[in-house]
Structure 1
Amino acid sequence: MKKIVILYPTILASHFAPMMQLVDVLLEEGYTVAVAVIDITMEQDVGDATFAATVDRAASSRRLSVSFHTLPRIRDPPSVTHGAGKASTTFGGAPDSPFYDMHRKNKHETLIMEKHIAKSIHNSSLRLHGRTPLTTYIVPKGTKNLKTGLSQNLDSICQLMTKQLDLLLINLELLRRYNKRLRGFLCSMPPGSVHALVVDVVSVDAFGLRIPVYTFYLTSTSTLAVFLQLPSIRAQGQPSFRELGDAHLNFHGVPPMPASHLMSKMLEDPETEIYKVADGILVNTFASLEARAVGSLRDSWFLPDSKCTIPPVYFIGPLVVESGDGAKGKHECIAWLDEQPEQSVVFLCFGSMAEARFSEAQLKEIAVGLENSGHRFLWVAVGPADPDLDVLLPEGFLERTNGRGLVVKQWALQVDVLRHKATGLFVTHCGWNSVLEGITAGVPMLCLPLYSEQKMNKVFMVEEAGIGVEVVGWQQGLVRSEEVEARARVTAHKEAATMAWKNGSSSRSAFSQFLSDAAGIGTGKTRV
């Protein structure tokens, strides 16, 4: 009987893409692959805007040995009511929701924001969590001195918004709700046929399905090392991480990390059972790129508390999206790059969700920096339809930069742009997929982290690997010595990334070990 590996991704395109690269590797090893996905057409307010299209492309391009199974929809829709001047959303979350305790303590939440931000709030899966009514007051666009006259607790309200809008946590909760559907799908498989289940960073509920379960960790080993050490540090009497602000924390295997750079979930509750009960952790990296962090995870003193153990960790990257040469037609930005001199273009792209998080002031600052730099640039600005980016950009910006700059508003395959000979520099939000794509393309990076683990990735890129430069003063058009050094270092890592999947190399060996270990674990478990 041919063995099946089942993948269970979140509904984020940035997480789904590397899982599809994992699919291709599994197929090469002779496995059948099944991908269980949530019906994004029914939960369209939860994932990012590109997810449905990403799944469709993957389903149409993969071989017959891959099947995509849509899990039946759960029955827990939110109820939304609207009134004059305000909108109220009643949440329908479960008591085990990560937001439930917060909402139980706060009988009512009030958010004050501009219209386009409010639209994002009410179109998000924030309303999946808790049972607290949410009232949103809309203020006119461009209202100045908003803080004047408001409660002194506005800062804490903003922190609450940030925590509630953490899209990763939202997706984790959604996956928790679909675990029973996933269990039903697994039980429908032929007995003994499932070799392993590979899940995105998901809940403890997904474990205990009586088959080997592996977590696919989709960011850097450095962030994993920090994540695993936080409980031990807190046990030593460390004050609240949030209270430390920008104070640096020392971790094994990574550069000193400002407490403010930690993910919000880490700040609130660093304890987790996820990695303690997984049979292993797959990491999308390669050993030579993060040698110190990789080495720290293998040290016996990494976790001083003898009660804390971590499962085997397999460094199987880089798994990056392949070139889109087979796509129909040539994207306008590739055609434009064809006309530019070699290594002359600054490429700016901040992921599929980032533009919605940029304020109008931030967008204008980026535009001013590009205009003042004098460099050729390509800016993929995938922003919300309301307000239009034409309105947000400085007046006359597009006309003044016409010829040496191009702003495109539809998604372009980032890897194709990075591998184009005209691309000389990559301004990135430091999402791990983007970092790996920049490395494999051999393009040095300017770091402009926005949210989630991106600030932690920036520390690794700048302080440890030397493949990136923090965005400070680049808008003046200065070519700093650090940028030149980063170009040399990223070229070396590009060569190492190419070698990582050769027969007998680090990532290939780690992947083979993962498959072997999964088979061994399976013999000791009652198989579904």
Structure 2
Amino acid sequence: MAAATPTPTLVLVPEWGAGHLMSMLESCKRILLCGGGRAFSITLLVMRPPTAEATSQVEEHVRREAASGLDIRFHRLPAVDLPSDAAGVEEFIARYIQLHAPHVRDAVAGMSCPVAALVLDLFAAPMVDVARELRVPSYVFMSSTGAMLALMLHLPVLHHVVTVEFDEVEDGEVHVPGLPPIPPESMPCPVVDKKSPNYTWFVRLGDSFMDATGIIANTADGLEPGPLAAVADGRAVPGRPAPPVYPVGPVLSLGSSKKDSPEPPHQCVAWLDAQPPASVVFLCFGSMGWFEPAQVAEITAALERCGHRFLWVLRGPPSSQSGAGAPDGSEHPTDADLDELLPEGFLRRTEGKGLVWPTWAPQKEILAHPAVGGFVTHGGWNSVLESLWHGIPMAPWPLYAEQHLNAFELVADMGVAVPLKVDRRRGNFVEAAELERAVRCLMGEEGRTAREKAAGMRDVCRKAVDKGGSSDAALQRLSEALHHGAVAPTI
């Protein structure tokens, strides 16, 4: 009797942040579960994150996934030294991940089963060289937008074509195939200064993307047809075909409905239960979003004057114990002291109409609630996808990373958001009058178009991942490619 063929494994190399790690893992779990009986396993290579808080969060993810019952294995890589001279966050992350390349190589070379592919976080893209050496396929996982993918692929071209800083271009616009002309102030934070190591790394990452076997993207054809078509048509890098892109999103870990749960609803959800449909503007700024007191004062003034019902997740500044000054930029906020941060009498004056929540809140449950009519968000891609999944229009307030480009795309390309003017020179500061205007627009008659387009995107998202949808089809193509490419690593 012939021995059973070992199950091929997908070897994942994620960045440790939840928005990267969980997005990649959820996408690959879909690959594991699809494929009509063609089984995969997942082997996640776990780097030791550079901070204790991030380590604790990763270990919590590992414990939860280990108990999921799926064929997911965890291989902890040996520790490496932290880069001591990194000039910026993105440079630090890319260099720290690259220091793990020899350990990734050893781990993959020692696999006792066929390797379907090495799946690399965008910051780990230079490890396509490791995959090439071991003669295994490599896939870059793009946890951000199709627009950011088009820009990263095109950035090495722009580097040679645009010889000045982007804010010095002659016509005041940056041209990326598949996107409307981008104002320089909407370019992602890592590329605004060409003299910075962050920019140099992003040019290198864009080059590395082109050497991968394929690119897995957490988006959908119907969400971002322009940039995805530009990549597929070869316009992103003229004269050099890009690897095939598999848009398998939106990939969201939405969990099961809690309507029948014996547990009482979260206090934020219970408060929303008492509000009229589509009457509440929700303000939440991600796992690293917090504001200085001067900005908090502007937000309170805007919310009082606009008069709309609101649910505001307000976090306090990081403490030295919780990661302030962390080398990877993961300065996680603390629970807010509302008495200290909010103007005297604000809570009393807005009682019944507003709720300020000072700690973690269940964003996905809140966005799913019928009382929520608009979302003021930092514009991280996972938050955007959650909002679009529920058809909620946005007012994007970008804070870091690629969020300024996300905000531009949401307003100028998708039309699912109303603009909010942020002053990048003042740390993305927003005046009270501007936030008041944006909230009135978002929740009022002026925001009708954004609401209609967001509702349309809700249908696009759900149809894409349904059986026979565009993302389901991309997942099937990807599964087929992975099965054909699975090999035993060779040196």
Compute the TM-score of the two structures, normalised by the length of structure 1: 0.76
Aligned to 1:89: none
Aligned residue identity for 1:20:
L
Does residue 69 (structure 1) correspond to residue 69 (structure 2)? The answer is no
Corresponding residue for 1:224? 149
SS at match of 1:253: coil
Q: Which residue of 2 aligns with 1:397?
A: 346
From 68, 92, 96, give the equivalent of 1:174.
Answer: 96
Seen in structure 2, the aligned counterparts of structure 1 residues 11 and 292 have a Cα distance that, compared at 3 Å, is same
User: Does residue 129 in structure 1 map to residue 92 in structure 2?
Assistant: no
AA matched with 2:7? K
Judged with a 3 Å threshold, the aligned counterparts in structure 2 of structure 1 residues 372 and 250 are, in CA distance, closer, same or farther, namely same
Residue 52 and residue 345 in structure 1: after superposition, are their counterparts in 2 closer, same or farther (change >3 A)?
farther
Mapped to 1, the partners of 2:289 and 2:280 lie a distance apart of 21
**In the alignment, is residue 330 of structure 1 matched against residue 337 of structure 2?**
no
Find 2:450's aligned residue among 486, 489, 500.
Answer: 486
- Per-residue deviation, 1:443: 0.8
1:3 is aligned to 2:12: no
State the AA in 1 paired with 2:242.
I
Of all paired residues, the percent bearing the same amino acid is 32
Contact 1:225–1:253 (Cα < 8 Å) also in 2: yes
Contact 2:218-2:248 within 8 A present in 1 as well: yes
How far, CA to CA, are the matches of 2:103 and 2:158 in structure 1? Answer: 37
Q: CA deviation at 1:286?
A: 0.5
Question: C-alpha separation between the residues in 1 aligned to 2:471 and 2:453?
Answer: 20
What secondary structure is seen at the aligned counterpart in 2 of 1:20?
A: helix
Cα distance in 2 for partners of 1:430, 1:237 equals: 27
Give the 3 Å change call, closer, same or farther, for CA 196–351 of structure 1 in structure 2. same
State the distance in 1 between where 2:55 and 2:458 align: 30
- Alpha-carbon shift at residue 169 of structure 1 (Å): 3.8
Match of 2:251 in 1: 319
Shift of 1:206: 5.3
Please give the alpha-carbon distance, in whole angstroms, between the structure 1 residues aligned to 2:104 and 2:358.
Answer: 36
User: In the TM superposition, what are the counterparts of 1:116-515 in structure 2 within 5 Å?
Assistant: 128-130=84-86, 164=88, 166=89, 168-191=90-113, 193-203=114-124, 204-205=126-127, 207-209=129-131, 210=134, 211-244=136-169, 247-267=172-192, 268=194, 269=200, 271-272=203-204, 273-304=207-238, 306=239, 308-323=240-255, 325=257, 329-355=264-290, 358-384=291-317, 386=319, 388-390=336-338, 391-471=340-420, 473-476=434-437, 478-479=440-441, 480-515=444-479
Deviations 1:209-245 (A, max 9, x none): 3221111111111121122223223323542325449
Q: Any gaps of 5 or more consecutive residues in structure 2?
A: 1-5, 195-199, 320-333, 422-433
- How far off its partner does 1:399 sit? 2.9
Question: Residue 22 of structure 2 aligns with which residue?
Answer: 17
Change (3 A) 1:72 1:233: closer
Name which of structure 1's ranges 243-252 and 25-34 shifts more when overlaid on structure 2.
243-252
Give the C-alpha shift of residue 46 in structure 1.
Answer: 7.6
Corresponding letter in the other structure for 2:345: G
The residue matched to 2:275 in structure 1 has which SS? coil
- Secondary structure of residue in 2 paired with 1:451: coil
**Cα distance change, pair 332–188 in 1 and its aligned pair in 2 (3 A):** farther
For residues 505 and 258 of structure 1, the distance between their equivalents in structure 2, rounded to whole angstroms, comes to: 34
Match in the other structure for 2:330: none
In structure 2, the CA distance between the partners of 1:188 and 1:329, relative to structure 1 (3 Å rule), is farther
Deviations 1:3-50 (A, max 9, x none): 21122211111212212321431231232112222234xx32584985
Q: Aligned equivalents of 2:445 and 2:490: distance in 1?
A: 57
1:2 CA displacement = 1.5
Q: Deviations over 1:262-296 (max 9, x none)?
A: 22433423522321221111111110111111221
Distance 1:375 1:245 in 2: 42
Letter in 1 for 2:19: S
CA distance in structure 1 between the aligned counterparts of 2:163 and 2:447, rounded to whole angstroms: 37
- Secondary structure of 1:281's counterpart equals strand
- Equivalent residues of 1:317, 1:507 under 8 A apart: yes
Residues in 1 aligned to 2:235 and 2:228: alpha-carbon distance in whole angstroms: 13
Partner Cα separation in structure 1 for residue 247 and residue 78 of structure 2:
33
For 1:294 and 1:349, how far apart are their aligned partners in 2? 29
* C-alpha displacement of 1:351: 0.6
SS at match of 1:197: strand
Matched pairs, number:
435
Q: What is the SS of the residue equivalent to 1:470?
A: coil
Please tell me whether the aligned partners of residues 26 and 33 of structure 1 are also in contact (alpha carbons under 8 angstroms).
no
**Relative to structure 1, is the Cα distance of residues 367 and 55 closer, same or farther in structure 2, using a 3 angstrom cutoff?**
farther
2: CA distance between counterparts of 1:54 and 1:406?
Answer: 30
Give the conservation status (yes or no) of the 8 Å contact 1:5–1:195. Answer: yes
The structure 1 residue matched to 2:46, chosen from 37, 43, 47, is 37
Question: Residue 503 and residue 262 in structure 1: after superposition, are their counterparts in 2 closer, same or farther (change >3 A)?
Answer: same
Query: Which amino acid in structure 1 is aligned with residue 75 of structure 2?
Result: H
Rounded Cα–Cα distance in structure 2 between residues aligned with 1:255 and 1:363: 33
Q: Residues 364, 243 of structure 1: CA spacing in aligned structure 2 closer, same or farther, 3 A cutoff?
A: same
Structure with more of its chain in strand, by fraction: 1
Inter-partner Cα distance in structure 2 for 1:527 and 1:271: 30
Contact 1:34 1:67 in 2 (8 A): yes
Q: What amino acid maps onto 2:18 in structure 1?
A: A
Change over 3 Å in CA distance of 1:338–1:448 after alignment to 2: same
Name the stretch that deviates more: 202-211 or 364-373.
202-211
CA distance in 1, matches of 2:342, 2:477: 51
Q: CA deviation at 1:467?
A: 0.5
Instruction: Say if 1:68 and 1:199 are closer, same or farther in 2 by CA, change over 3 A.
Output: same
Which blocks of at least 5 consecutive residues in structure 1 are unaligned? 78-92, 94-127, 131-162
Q: How large is the Cα RMSD of the aligned pairs? A: 2.7
Query: Residues 319 and 527 from structure 1, CA distance in 2 versus in 1: closer, same or farther, beyond 3 angstroms?
Result: farther
